Amino acid sequence: MDSLTRRRFLVASGVAGAVALAAGATAHRLEDLFATAGDRDPDSRTLVLVTLYGGNDGLNTVVPYADPAYHDARPELAYAAEEVRRLDGEVGLNPALAGVHRLYGEGRLAVVRGVGYPKPDRSHFRSMDIWHTAEPERPASTGWVGRWLDHASGDPRLAVSFEPTLPPLLAGERSAGASVLVGERSAPRGLPESALAALAVAQAGESAARARAAACFADLRAVDQMIREVRDATVDEENDQEAETAPATATGGARTSLDAQLDLVAQCIEAGVTTRVFSVSLGGFDTHADERQLQEVLLGQLDRALTRFTERMARTDAGRKVVTAVYSEFGRRVRANGSDGTDHGTASNMLLLGSGVRGGLYGEPPSLTDLDRGDLKFTVDFRDVYATLLESVLDTDPAVVLHGWRGRMTGAL
C-alpha cells in the first residue's frame, strides 16, 4: 500500500478526470445534496434535461410516414404506416417508443418539431457546445444553465449532473453545478476492502493535495454505495410492477445508465432537495450504419427510462411539477447513406414530458423537399424552447440568461 499512492490509485481505477466532486479545496458529497431537503419552495418546479449524444435521427423518431419524400429518400430505413405508433394521420413515433406514445395519448408529451439554430454545424463537439451554451454565433465559455445558476445564488446543488463529467451547460461565469458519477468503478485487483477504506481517510501530516484526493475518493465510494442502494431498492418494484406492463425492448429489459441516473433524480425530487435542474444523458446515437436496429435499441432504452420516471413523478406533488426535456445535438440527413444509416444533419425534435406539460404537436414540420444542401431547415429556434423553460419552469427572465433573447415557444407549458 505504501507504493500505491492515492494519486496512482485514482488514475488506475479510472477515477481521475472522470468526475469533479470537489471544487477547489471543497468536496461535495451526496449527503450535502440531501442536506437541503426541506429548504425547497414547495411551489417551485424542476427541470430534467436528457441529452442524447451522437445526433439522434429525428425523422425515424418522429416519423413522417405519410410523406412520399420520406420513403423516397430512405427506402431501406423508412417505416411503413403500419409500423409506427401514430400521433395523427401524418406522423407517428418509432415502434420502440411504446410507453412514450401512451404518454402522448394521455396529454403528457409535447413533441416540438423542426428545432435547430442558424448556420448549423455538423461537428458533434461544436454543435453540442452550441446547445450547451445557447450561443450559435460564437464560441462561449459558459453554459445556459450555468448562467442561470450565477443569477440564482450560485449554490452548485441547485444544478446537478448525474453524468460522467460536468457538462458545459452547467458551467457559469462565477459558479458551476455539481457532478455525481453514476456507475460503479472497478478497483485494481488484489486490494482488500480495508485498503480501499484507508485510501478514503486523510492522514496526519500529509499534503493538502493528498487530503483532497482522500476526500474525493470518499465521495466516490459514497456515490457507489448510494447507487447500489437505489438499485437494490427498486429491483423488486420493477419485477412486480413492470414485468407485465413494460414494453419489450431489444435490450431484454436490462437496466441502463439512463435508468440509474433517473432513479437518482427521482430520489432527490421525492426527498425535497433544493436542486432545480438535473442533467442526465444517453449516448450512442451516431448511426452511420445499420441504423434501424441500433436506433430501436437505444430508443427502447430511452422509452423505458422516460416512462418509468414520468409515471413515478406523477405520484407526488413535487413530481408533478417536473418537466423533462429531451434533445440531441443535431438530427440526421434526410437521405440515407450507402451503409443503411444516415450522416450528420441539422434540425430535429425535442420532447417535453410531465404532468404539467400540455401534450401535442408543436412547431412547423420541416419540408423534406425544400432542403438546405440536403438537410432540413429549422422552423423553431432552440433558444425559444430554452426561454420557455427558463420562464415557465425556472421562474427566470430568459433575457438575463440568453443575452436578451425574446423568442418563446408558446402553448406547451
pLDDT digits (tens, 9 = 90+) for 49-85: 999 999 999 999 999 999 999 999 999 999 999 999 9
pLDDT for residue 222: 55
Residue 230: how many other CB atoms lie within 10 Å: 17
Point out the least confidently predicted range of 14-23, 309-318, 364-373.
14-23
List phi, psi (to 5°) of 44.
-75, 150
Of 199, 187, 158, the residue nearest 47 (C-alpha)? 158
Q: Output the CA torsion 42→43→44→45 (10° steps).
A: 110
Q: What percent of the chain has pLDDT over 90?
A: 66
Task: Give the CB-side neighbour count of residue 320, counting CA atoms within 13 A.
Answer: 6
pTM as predicted: 0.80
Mean pLDDT of all residues belonging to the chain = 83
pLDDT for residue 166: 82
Q: Is 55 in contact with 328 (CB distance < 8 Å)?
A: yes
Round to whole Å and give the CA distance between 310 and 36: 23
DSSP E strand stretches across 46-145: 46-52, 62-63, 85-86, 92-93, 109-116
Residue 226: is its pLDDT beyond 80? no
pLDDT tens track for 18-28? 333 333 223 35
Q: Is 256 in contact with 26 (CB distance < 8 Å)?
A: no
pLDDT for residue 34: 80
Round to whole Å and give the CA distance between 199 and 197: 5
Residue 240: is its pLDDT beyond 90? no
Q: What percent of the chain has pLDDT over 70?
A: 75
Round to whole Å and give the CA distance between 59 and 37: 41
Task: Give the CB-side neighbour count of residue 116, counting CA atoms within 13 A.
Answer: 24
Q: Is 55 in contact with 332 (CB distance < 8 Å)?
A: yes
pLDDT for residue 9: 35
Residue 234: is its pLDDT beyond 80? no
Point out the least confidently predicted range of 13-17, 53-57, 80-84, 129-133.
13-17
pLDDT for residue 254: 36
Which range among 205-209, 238-242, 399-403 has the greatest average pLDDT?
Answer: 399-403
pLDDT for residue 83: 98
